[in-house]
């Protein structure tokens, strides 16, 4: 490849993690599946396996079709909209999403997976675990699949992160014509989650990916709940 | 790298396009900057240079601070919310975004860039132009930077595409435990736009990127306006 198209990012699936059981040590599984992780890599892990490892699972009543709705309501602090079986609500973390993130796919029959209690903390633990096991300083993003108010189709976004700023503030940076940019706060952890989703798919059983080549200025202390969740006072649509 | 982390995607910046002037032949500029594009690559191009090449530029009245708001209103079919100078509206294409996509950054002083009239058509033209010049069959995504109702920070999304399905429908595909997935329609063009943004940045003057390694089953006829824009009848938040 000529010089024009070198550089950039590599998005690599991490295969071989297998089925994650409640209580599993996810950093051990990740370290075994991706021993070649390097400093500055971003490891993106899907919420589903984090929730499983953290035993964030609840049984559903097989005789009661309203059982899932009750779980969703229990995970919600506020219901925004209902349409048929779909509930759009705000979770304890402040995420606005379908069914409070409660999910039955890729979970054993009769059980539902809840979101991690504190996904930023989950990300910090994974980052610490990978540092301990592999001696590498990686960032971690925990991803989940959300819908959007005005666009069809789902995309993956970040629900937790560690070792990387969630939103990178380019305000005050000059644009290419030398003028100051008014507002350009880019949610890089959501872009990383979206990029990683493309190598994981939904049906392949790959639950993690590594992104190599991210701008090193993005690395550092960061969290999703404090940086990305829009406080109700700023919200025009709640 | 061991086999666990091979495969995946490469996101490569396309540098050297330089300043794009009204009437410029963008496929010629892209072909010259990225002669090594290959069949199956996805070329992501920012809206800004597409709008410039298509002369979608309007002068602002320097003596009138309301001049931009009038342009935004002219580009909107419906205003959803206002807060201070921010207008959230629906464009003719059906996009719900800030300021109807009208943008002053990276545009000459005194001018505003509008969205392309038909960004899917713009993408088809670029795809055809690249096929003619380089003999390659690439997909094209035109990206823009949008905010989100309930999440801080901006991410890039697709406003037009060609040669790739915008939304890939995984409904009916079995999940990793062999059960049918209820709804998993992934908006892959938005994920491609987000991934590409990370190698372009806002202030570096890089306006295009190539993504290599996408799932070949995604390639084919697709468009953003028909597939991604959520019709008002499905909309819970307009």
Nearest by CB to residue A199, choosing from B8, B81, B176, is: B8
Has residue B49 been placed in a domain? yes
CB of B183 within 8 A of CB of A165?
no
DSSP type of residue A172: T
Q: Closest-CA residue in chain A for B150?
A: A230
CB A225 within 8 A of CB A202: no
CB-based contacts of A21: which residues, under 8 Å, 6+ apart? A52, A53
Do B139 and B196 fall into the same domain? yes
Lowest mean per-residue pLDDT among A3-12, A75-84, A114-123, B29-38: A3-12
Percent of chain A residues past pLDDT 70, beyond the cut: 89
Query: Distance between CA atoms of B1 and A212, rounded to whole angstroms?
Result: 12
Would the pTM of this model clear 0.90, i.e. be above it? yes
Q: Write out pLDDT tens, residues A152-200.
A: 999 999 999 999 999 998 765 666 666 655 567 999 999 999 999 999 8
User: ipTM of this predicted complex?
Assistant: 0.93
> Are A121 and A110 in the same domain?
no
Q: What percent of chain B has pLDDT over 70?
A: 89
Residue B63 placed within a domain: yes
Q: Are residues A194 and A217 in the same domain?
A: yes
Is residue A157 included in any domain, yes or no?
yes
The verdict on A139 and A208 lying in the same domain is yes
A11 vs B contacts (CB less than 8 Å): 8-11, 195
- Note the pLDDT tens digit of each residue in B58-112: 999 888 878 989 999 999 999 999 988 889 999 999 999 999 999 887 788 889 9
Q: Are residues B161 and B210 in the same domain?
A: yes
Beta-carbon contacts of residue B117 (< 8 Å; ≥ 6 apart): B54, B56
Mark yes or no for CB contact B150/A88 under 8 Å: no
Q: Exposure string (b/e) for B34-54, b if CB count within 10 Å is 16 or more?
A: beebeebbbbbbbbbbbbbbb
Beta-carbon pairs below 8 A across chains A and B: 262
Domain that holds residue B179: 1-55+116-224
Number of domains in chain A: 2
Tell me, yes or no, whether B238 lies in a domain: no
Looking at the structure, do residues B182 and B202 belong to the same domain, yes or no?
yes
Distance from C-alpha of B196 to C-alpha of B161, rounded to nearest angstrom? 14
Residues composing chain A:
238
Is it the case that residue B56 has pLDDT exceeding 60? yes
Interface mutation target, options A8, A154, A183, A193, chain B, most CBs of B under 10 Å: A8
- CA dihedral angle for residue B16, residue B17, residue B18, residue B24, rounded to 10 degrees: 160
Q: What are the start-end ranges of the H helices in A109-187?
A: 119-134
The total number of residues written for chain B in this structure: 238
């Amino acid at each position: 490849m000529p010089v024009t198209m070198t550089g950039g990012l590599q998005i690599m699936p991490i295969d071989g993690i297998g089925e994650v059981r409640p209580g599993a040590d996810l950093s051990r599984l990740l370290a075994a599946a991706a021993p070649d992780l390097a400093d500055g890599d971003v490891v993106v892990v899907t919420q589903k396996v984090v929730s499983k490892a953290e035993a964030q699972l609840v049984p559903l009543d097989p005789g009661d079709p309203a059982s899932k709705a009750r779980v969703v309501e229990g995970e919600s602090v506020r219901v925004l909209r209902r349409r048929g079986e779909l509930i759009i609500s705000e979770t304890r973390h402040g995420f606005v999403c379908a069914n409070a993130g409660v999910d039955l796919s890729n979970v054993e029959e009769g059980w539902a997976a809840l979101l991690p209690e504190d996904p930023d903390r989950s990300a910090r633990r994974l980052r610490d675990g990978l540092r301990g096991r592999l001696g590498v300083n990686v960032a971690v993003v925990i991803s989940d699949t959300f819908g959007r108010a005005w666009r069809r189709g789902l995309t993956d976004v970040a629900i937790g992160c560690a070792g990387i700023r969630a939103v990178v503030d380019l305000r005050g940076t000059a644009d290419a014509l030398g003028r100051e940019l008014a507002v350009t706060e880019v949610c890089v952890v959501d872009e990383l989650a979206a990029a990683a989703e493309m190598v994981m798919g939904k049906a392949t059983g790959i639950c993690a990916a590594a992104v190599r080549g991210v701008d090193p200025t993005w690395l550092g202390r960061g969290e999703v709940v404090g940086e990305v969740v829009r406080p109700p006072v700023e919200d025009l649509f709640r």
